[in-house]
Amino acid sequence: MTEGGIARGPLHAAWLGRVDYAAAWSWQRELFLARLEGERGDSLMLLEHPPTYTLGRRAVQDDLVYGEAERAARGIALYEVDRGGRATYHGPGQLVGYPILELGERYDVVAYLRKLEGVLIETAAELGVEAERDPEHTGVWVGKNKIGAIGVKITRGITMHGFAFNVSTDLSMFGGIVPCGIQDRWVTSVEEETGTRYSVKEVGEVAAKYLAATFDLPLVWTHQRTMRAFEITKDHRSDETIERSLN
């Protein structure tokens, strides 16, 4: 299978459970480097994070509502990250997906974002939620409330970061930030909209199905140990080498 002249193999997906944000970020970099060097194909990390705020490249200080003491009292970590976008929340009950995909040299960032939105819209529909795009704001919405956030980084045609989809998330935790820097909007979840509590892993399986179909890739489920089979960055490369390769 090819796309734009690139040989494409299957999409290897794994459910990783609850993973600390810093550990998952390092894991992404390992997969990115292996994909860049042709040592593995496309991958999809599916997981939850402990309570975490992240600030993307366009974030400003006013995006943070809770100060350091309030975050510590609530057990919320904070990271400044290299994805696009502004502030968002990750936590239990939220599906996070990190696709590590090769898009090729002539990739279209906006087209990639629209495809991820489509994946979340289809996922929401299968769960009984009618979600849609907003012409002014990236992400997936139910009315004026965001159910799916998207923030990505693409380096040399290979993707990192991805999407966050609220399944049964504690929405009050978004009160510590201005979500995505948008003052007049709020957030919602599948549970909020339907009254049904799905397991995050179950929703991850639905999202993986639609993501593979969107990018015309066969979907192959793998154990998380297989997803770590190329731990070359830990064993043979320094963090400095990883960062140099990403920049």
164 - beta bridge partners?
Answer: 96, 149
165 falls within a domain: yes
pLDDT at 181: 59
CATH of the domain at 167: 3.30.930.10
2 falls within a domain: no
Helices (H), the chain: 21-36, 68-74, 109-126, 190-194, 200-214, 224-227, 232-236, 239-246
187 falls within a domain: yes
Query: What whole-number distance in Å separates Cα of residue 187 and Cα of residue 179?
Result: 8
pLDDT at 25: 93
Q: Give the pair of three-digit tokens for residue 134.
A: 């907003």
Catalytic residue numbers read: 180
CB atoms within 10 A of CB 49: 22
Alpha-carbon separation of residue 231 from 11, 55, 68, 151, 227 (angstroms): 19, 27, 34, 25, 9
Amino acid at residue number 152: V
- How many structural domains compose the chain? 1
98 - beta bridge partners?
Answer: 45
Which pairs with CB-CB distance under 8 Å and at least 24 residues apart come from 117-121? 117/148, 117/150, 118/210, 118/214, 119/163, 119/207, 119/210, 119/211, 119/214, 120/147, 120/148, 120/150, 120/163, 120/165, 120/207
4 falls within a domain: no
pLDDT at 224: 87
93 falls within a domain: yes
Alpha-carbon separation of residue 50 from 76, 125, 193 (angstroms): 8, 26, 23
* Residues of the chain under the 50 pLDDT cut: 1-7, 229-247
Q: Name the residue range of residue 198's domain.
A: 10-246
3 falls within a domain: no
pLDDT at 105: 82
Helices (H), 52-139: 68-74, 109-126
Residues 6+ apart with CB under 8 A from 239: none
